[in-house]
Chains A and B, each alone.
Chain A
Amino acid sequence: MSAGTRLRVDPIACDGRRLCAEVLPELITLDDWGFPIIRDVDMPDHLLDEAREAVRLCPKLALRLDGPRAP
């Protein structure tokens, strides 16, 4: 567990492109309108790579990792 490292979305920037939910379904689900709901938990170590990938792939730059293990 990466203590205190969390995935956050900027809801204004987010446009519901859904790539994040494809890369990281363990932590990101979509609401009925296609916008990401991110589980509010510390990032597990084994998902850190996928989380970074999700951040990199977001075409709106709306995702970020916050905390000690943020890239």
Chain B
Amino acid sequence: MRITDSFQRLARPESTQVPDCLPRLLPAGLPAGPAGLAGHLARYGPPPSPGVDRRRREGLIEEVERSGLTGRGGAGFPTARKLATVAAGHAPVVVANGTEGEPASAKDKVLLARSPHLVLDGAVLAAEMVGAGEAIVVVHHSVRDVVDDAAAERRHAGSGRIRIKIMTGADRFVGGEASALVHWIERGIPTPTSRPPRISERGLGGRPTLVQNVETLAHLALIARYGASWFRAVGTPQEPGSMLVTILGAVNHPGVHEIAIGTPVQQVLSAAGGASAPLQALLLGGYFGKWVGAEAAATRPFSSAALAALGAGPGAGLIAALPGDACGLVETARVVRYLADESAGQCGPCRYGLDAIAGELQRLTEGRTSDLSTLRRWLGQIDGRGACHLPDGVTGLIRSALDLFGPELEQHAQGWCCATRTPSVLPVPLRKQR
């Protein structure tokens, strides 16, 4: 606690208010553009600067550990553990992951567009914590200019000994996977690589590499300022803090919102203006996520622990609301085709298996077959057999769709579909020629 207090004293000039309510990461209200450096510092105060003092750096990692912060990119790995692993290695490097290749998700883009300095603070602090001299910030092309401007503003202000390098990520689904990101930075090839070695031990140029999602780093920047107990003031004891969520589909105001982890799903939807139509189902987590019944999920807290009972999880913070007049099978088949096409084509089970599975699911939804046995056999065959988790994400998504919408397959086999609407709910980019 002593450490926390000293951080707070350090970080808080008299004029700065410690934010005691949400949003923490995004600007409150609707400002016109991104927060500039002056506005950023006025709101949050300056970040602590542990410099090269080993004890202060370790103290910061301990503070992150006490905060219970976990990765906000979807996997939910404890941030402090990754920091400690990388800090133990020689000449580490930090990579901030703002690629956000998931077509339905916008939270990292919105965070970078509106609070770029918070992410850069986090990248610099993470670099200082692990003893790195450089932080590489890889962002989606749509927000590159904003982040460039923010970095230039900091250079102009003469900040810090950590070198910040901004890069544009590869615009594809698997490009944000940690090894694919390192591959992209190193060689311009956005595909996952074989493990071992682990990135945290031997990544970029053979150096221990900390790859952290940009939202995780933004939280880290605030934990370093205000301490673990401040961070834990919202959220649940097991899953503390707030998180950004992207809410889309049949809600009145689709967009990115910041919620306390554990907020009931119904209330999360209210943040987006509530449902705009009767809902039948929600896709939770992302395209790697799971379908759940809208009613079953409504009162559940949006947290890993509570959603696990439904076989789902918060993932990268996506909630897609499926209205009653849309068809979950058709939506799923379209997303699965997209994901299959996004396979890097490196692993046989993914390259051939996902393509076959996408085709079979299409046949089922079009009523050209009603026999699920082939699909089920293939799902069983490709589980866990890729270098990354793309195959596993697809099998999980399809299984949850079959659990929830499976009974509708009979109608499809007889040539009709429950859907009366034509526009699709889940966005899928046009297929690129590559």
Contact = CB atoms under 8 A, between A and B. Distances in A.
On whether the two chains bind one another, the answer is yes
Interface in B355-394: 356, 377-378, 381-382, 385-387
A37 B347 contact: no
Given A31-B353, A32-B356, A33-B353, A14 B381 contact: no
Contact of B347 (A12, A32, A34): A12
Contacts, number: 45
Contacts of A37: 381, 385
Given A16-B348, A33-B348, A11 B353 contact: no
A14 B377 contact: no
Q: What range describes how many residues of A lie at the interface?
A: 10 to 19
A11 B377 CA distance: 20
A10 interface: yes
Interface string A11-32: 1111110000000000000011
B378 A11 contact: no
B85 interface: no
Contacts of B350: 11
Contacts of B378: 32
Contacts of A32: 353, 356, 377-378, 381
Q: Is the interface of B mostly helix, strand, loop or mixed?
A: helix
Interface residues of B, number: 18
A31 to B, nearest CB: 4
Contacts of A35: 348-349, 352, 385
A36 to B, nearest CB: 9
Interface in A30-47: 31-35, 37
B420 interface: no
Contact of A31 (B346, B381, B386): B381
A15 B348 contact: yes
From A12, A13, A15, name the one whose CB has the most chain B CB atoms within 10 angstroms: A12
Contacts of B353: 31-33
A38 B33 CA distance: 53
A14 B348 contact: yes
Contacts of B347: 11-12, 14
Interface string B139-170: 00000000000000000000000000000000
A33 B345 CA distance: 14
B194 interface: yes
Contacts of B194: 10-13
Contacts of B346: 11-12
B193 interface: yes
Nearest to A11: B347
Given A31-B349, A32-B356, A35-B349, A11 B385 contact: yes
A16 B352 CA distance: 11
A71 to B, nearest CB: 17
B193 A11 contact: no
Given A11-B386, A12-B387, A33 B349 contact: yes
Q: Would you list the 5 A-B pairs with minimal beta carbon distance, nearest first?
A: A35-B348, A11-B347, A33-B352, A31-B381, A12-B346
29 contacts: A10-B194, A10-B387, A11-B348, A11-B349, A11-B385, A11-B386, A12-B192, A12-B194, A12-B346, A12-B347, A13-B194, A15-B348, A16-B348, A31-B348, A31-B353, A31-B382, A31-B385, A32-B377, A33-B348, A33-B349, A33-B352, A33-B353, A33-B356, A35-B348, A35-B349, A35-B352, A35-B385, A37-B381, A37-B385
